[in-house]
């Protein structure tokens, strides 16, 4: 292999814009949590968040980093709603829902529901008051567990416990989620998304937590 040359950028003193550009370029691909939440008047809010992953399995927990709005324009509706109601639903964004999901990232005024503006159909949840997005093949009802303000205060990590998984028959056989059938969409840096592309198989070398291990 030809040797590589590198640029080295120190992280500690980076301005927020440069740090953001580097982080979202380097941490790829990112899954997209299409989050529904409820405001104080019961309006349903929907917005995508790709600074997101699972962080625990006993019980299952997800974490989402929600940034403040740029130019000191306060906090995002999703963050306000989760802090107030302590509930939200993570709907998995897919290739089929990419267009709607992307549109829902527009900055709608707080009294305008993305759901109504974009005509997104909803389903009731089992344990939380926040509804699920009907066209998403996976919807995870979450209860807020912890809120952690990070670094200089622009970013806040919301950790939620998954209290119910809703899994479409099209992607779940009662044991495994079929990622190929689900066709999740991934966020890359800037205005780019990606599909799954080629899927590789290797035997698992360690037992999964609590699991029996499978090939």
Ligand X SMILES: Cc1cc2nc3c(=O)[nH]c(=O)nc-3n(C[C@H](O)[C@H](O)[C@H](O)COP(=O)(O)O)c2cc1C
In contact, 138 and 92? CB cutoff 8 Å: yes
Q: How many residues belong to the site for ligand X (CB under 6 A)? A: 17
Site string for ligand X, 165-194 (x = CB under 6 A): ----------------------x-------
- Rank residues 162 and 187 by Cβ distance to ligand X and give the closer one: 187
| Distance in Å, CB of 95 to ligand X, minimum | 13
In contact, 143 and 87? CB cutoff 8 Å: yes
Nearest to 142 by CA among 120, 157, 156, 127: 127
| Distance in Å, CB of 179 to ligand X, minimum | 18
- What part of residues 92-111 is at the interface with ligand X (CB under 6 A)? 102, 105, 107
Could you say which of 36, 76, 122, 125 contacts ligand X (CB under 6 A)? 76
Does 36 bind ligand X (CB under 6 A)? Our answer is: no
Does 45 bind ligand X (CB under 6 A)? Our answer is: yes
CA separation for the pair 154, 138 (Å, rounded): 29
| Distance in Å, CB of 91 to ligand X, minimum | 13
* Contact partners, residue 31, CB within 8 Å, separation at least 6: 50, 52, 53, 92, 93, 184, 186, 187
CA separation for the pair 119, 100 (Å, rounded): 9
Contact window for ligand X (CB under 6 A) among 12-20, 41-49, 122-130, 158-166: 41-49
- Rank residues 52 and 171 by Cβ distance to ligand X and give the closer one: 52
- Rank residues 51 and 168 by Cβ distance to ligand X and give the closer one: 51
Does 86 bind ligand X (CB under 6 A)? Our answer is: no
Could you say which of 14, 67, 144, 159 contacts ligand X (CB under 6 A)? 67
| Distance in Å, CB of 153 to ligand X, minimum | 13
Q: Which residues in this chain contact ligand X in the complex, by CB under 6 A?
A: 32, 45, 47-51, 65-67, 76-78, 102, 105, 107, 187
């Amino acid at each position: 292999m030809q040797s590589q040359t590198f640029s080295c950028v120190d992280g500690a003193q980076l301005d927020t814009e440069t740090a953001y550009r580097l982080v979202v370029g380097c941490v790829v691909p990112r899954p997209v949590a299409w989050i529904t939440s409820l405001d104080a008047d019961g309006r349903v809010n929907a917005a995508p968040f790709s600074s997101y992953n699972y962080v625990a399995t006993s019980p299952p927990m997800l974490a989402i980093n929600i940034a403040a709005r740029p130019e000191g324009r306060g906090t995002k509706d999703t963050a306000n709603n989760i802090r107030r109601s302590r509930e939200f639903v993570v709907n998995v964004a897919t290739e089929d829902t990419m267009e709607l999901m992307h549109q829902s990232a527009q900055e709608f005024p707080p009294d305008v529901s993305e759901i109504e503006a974009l005509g997104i159909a909803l389903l009731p949840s089992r344990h939380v008051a926040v509804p699920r997005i009907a066209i998403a093949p996976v919807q995870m009802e979450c209860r807020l567990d912890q809120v952690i303000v990070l670094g200089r205060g622009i970013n806040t990590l919301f950790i939620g416990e998954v209290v119910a998984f809703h899994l479409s028959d099209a992607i779940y056989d009662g044991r495994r989620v079929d990622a190929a059938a689900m066709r999740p969409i991934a966020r890359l840096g800037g205005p780019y998304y990606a599909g799954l592309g080629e899927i590789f198989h290797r035997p698992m070398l360690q037992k999964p937590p609590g699991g029996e291990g499978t090939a």
